Amino acid sequence: MNLSELLFELSELLSKYGFSERAEFVNSVCEIEDERSLLEVLAGLEFWGGSGAVWEIQPFSFRSADLDVSRSDYRRFQSIMVELSDMLSARGRATLSGRTADLFRRQLASS
């Protein structure tokens, strides 16, 4: 998947589970045309920092009665975040994202 597709899917998942503020933020990132600015935002605190960051959401199962779908969707969310981190790493920009991606990789491997 390319970056635009990943961000679109990420936004859709966040929206589906009521994380509308984060979904709107991800949508706004899609509008950044300058690659350097885009990478700065993708590698920044809004995605990978503390409270309120894109990565730091409750598992979707806390927001949905359909556990199978919500768990599958949350695994997809984690996979997208890992892919984004890998893209950043390939460009030497994974300082913040690497630790979170490693956490998600471990969780994905154990599920």
12-68 pLDDT, tens digit per residue, is 999 999 999 999 999 999 999 998 999 999 999 999 998 889 999 988 888 887 889
Report, in this order, helix, strand and coil percent for the chain, each rounded to 5. Answer: 70, 0, 30
Residues 42 and 49: their CA atoms lie apart, in Å, by 11
How many helices, marked H, and strands, marked E, lie in the chain? 6, 0
Q: What is the pLDDT of residue 111?
A: 79
Task: Give the global pTM.
Answer: 0.92
Q: What is the pLDDT of residue 27?
A: 96
- Summarised one tens digit per residue, pLDDT across range 67-77 is 899 999 999 99
Give the mean model confidence (pLDDT) for residues 84-89.
95
Domain boundaries, the chain: 3-110
Q: What is the pLDDT of residue 48?
A: 95
- Summarised one tens digit per residue, pLDDT across range 97-111 is 999 999 999 999 997
Q: What is the pLDDT of residue 51?
A: 85
